[in-house]
Amino acid sequence: SDLGLEDLDKLEAKGQAENTKRATSWGIKKFEKWCDKRKLTVDFNCVTPVELNELLRKFYAEVKSEKGQPLTPSTLTGIRAAIHRQLTSAPTRRSMNIMQDSEFLSANKMFEAKCKLYTKGMNPKPMHKSSIAAGDM
């Protein structure tokens, strides 16, 4: 049988796990909520890589949990994956990779920095006792 574009999209969507669909929806909502607060609108169908890079760089730097806490690296990774899926899957089907394309270098540097800063914040350096003075030995 000759499948039309819509049929192909449906078939592709069926292959995606329900949890993946939920995670994508949640990540996109988080991004859209951040955009709304800043009165920004993003159309994934026509945003340029340069515009999206600038937006993502700012988003990664500023996004927080509902309680105002920094997001964990795994949560940030999930949101980035959700945005990537939204961009590359039907119906948008853009051929840009926000994780690897050179146009997204500054956004990805910010992403990595936020992940490292979170990890550093969770693992503060141990406090060492001061060394024993020679006269005390």
Helix orientation angle between 49-62 and 18-37, rounded to the nearest 10 degrees:
90
Look up residue 28 and give its two tokens. 């996109």
According to DSSP, the residues that pair with 70 across neighbouring strands are 64
Is the pLDDT confidence value at 47 over 70? yes
Average pLDDT over residues 44-72: 97
pLDDT per residue as tens digits for the range 59-90: 999 999 999 999 999 999 999 999 999 999 98
Extract the tokens encoding 13.
């969507």
Residue 122 has pLDDT above 80, yes or no: no
